[in-house]
Amino acid sequence: MGLFDEQITAVRRFIDEAEDAGRLRRLDSPAAEPWPSGSVLVLEEDTALELGNPSVGSLSMLVWAAEGEARDGAVSLVGPDLAEASGAGLPFAQVVIAAGDFPNEYDSYRDLRDAVYDTRLKGLSVRAMPSKQVLWCRVSRQAADAGFSIGHLGAALLESLRDVPGVTAAEALFITSSQEDISRLSGAAAGARRLVDAMMKMYQENNFDCETCEYQDVCETVMDLKQIRKKLTDGKAVPG
């Protein structure tokens, strides 16, 4: 059992259904050359394409699991790639699954989160609001003209994740098709955020009074949270 089993199952179901419907593309072997890092300021005037503008749909989800639970290197896309976009913007969801050995969940969460936010690719500005699980990106005209694609973003993201201690595999799913498709994962994303919030509360506040805790419901149903609680109350882990 893992902390995000329910959420990962929902993601797998989405991927399988999209694949069965012929709507899923595998971008596992992206561009031969990694995309260079560089400036992350992209003003409106320089923007070729906006991804995840708050008005069109946006979702960011980060979960982790035990070793063997992620298809290492898999980058999947449901919807048009950047060069195929017909307008100036696309809805955007980015779902990341990292697998490995994470003995300290709090430290691991922070490391994984930093890896996701700090890709810093030339011509791509990425802004996120973790509490709302939204991600808002701009692709510059220069990057678009040079062929920047979801494959490049996925490859950079996975490379960044592989540098995180304990990570042995990572995969990413991107959705650019519609707000409706994105909303099919919004429940799973909200569940993941609630689990992370509950875990962070345990580590940050060291308060284990379940009677007054707003996360009592998730702690009672998710075995891994119970184990984290036990580990902390037994004094076996110290917040990093």
Partner 1 sequence: MILAVCGKGGVGKTTVSAIGAKALAASGVKALIVDADPAAGLAMALGIEPKRTLNDVRKAIIEEVKAGRRDERDLAVSVDYLVAEALTERDNLAFLSIGRPEDVGCYCKVNVILKDAIEMLGGMFGATLIDAEAGIEQVNRKVMGAVDYVLLVSDTSAKAVRVAETIRDVSGRMIPDAGAGLLVNRVREPAEADRVESNTSLEVIGRVPEDDTVREFDAGQKSFFDLPECPASIAVEGTLTAAGFLS
Which residues would be at the binding site for partner 1 (CB under 8 A)?
39-41, 43-45, 54, 110, 113-114, 117, 125, 127-131, 134, 136, 196-197, 200-201, 204
Closer residue to partner 1 in complex, CB, 56/200: 200
CB of 67 to partner 1, least distance (A): 26
CB of 92 closer than 8 Å to CB of 128: no
Cα separation, 88 vs 98, whole angstroms: 31
> Please, which residue, 24 or 128, has the CB nearer to partner 1?
128
Q: Considering the complex, what minimum distance in angstroms separates the CB of residue 45 from partner 1?
A: 6
In this structure, how many other beta carbons lie within 10 angstroms of the beta carbon of residue 230? 11
Name every residue whose Cβ is closer than 8 Å to that of residue 191 and which is 6 or more positions away in sequence: 6, 7
**Quick one: CA dihedral 194, 200, 203, 206, positive or negative?**
negative
* Pick 84 or 114: Cβ nearer partner 1: 114
Residue 147 vs 165, nearer CB to partner 1: 165
Residue 228 CB: number of other CB atoms within 10 A?
22
**Cα 69 to Cα 139: distance, rounded to the nearest angstrom:** 31
Supply the minimum distance, in Å, between the C-beta of residue 47 and partner 1.
9
Could you list the beta-strand ranges (E) of the chain. 24-26, 47-51, 58-66, 75-78, 89-90, 92-100, 124-129, 134-140, 167-175
The angle formed by the CA atoms of residues 109, 110 and 113, to the nearest 5 degrees, is 85
Nearer to partner 1, 200 or 237 (CB): 200
CB of 136 to partner 1, least distance (A): 7
Smallest gap, in angstroms, from Cβ of residue 62 to partner 1? 12
Give 9 or 206: the residue with its C-beta nearer to partner 1: 206
Q: How far apart are CA 160 and CA 163, in angstroms?
A: 5
| In the complex, least distance from residue 31 CB atom to partner 1, rounded to whole angstroms | 26
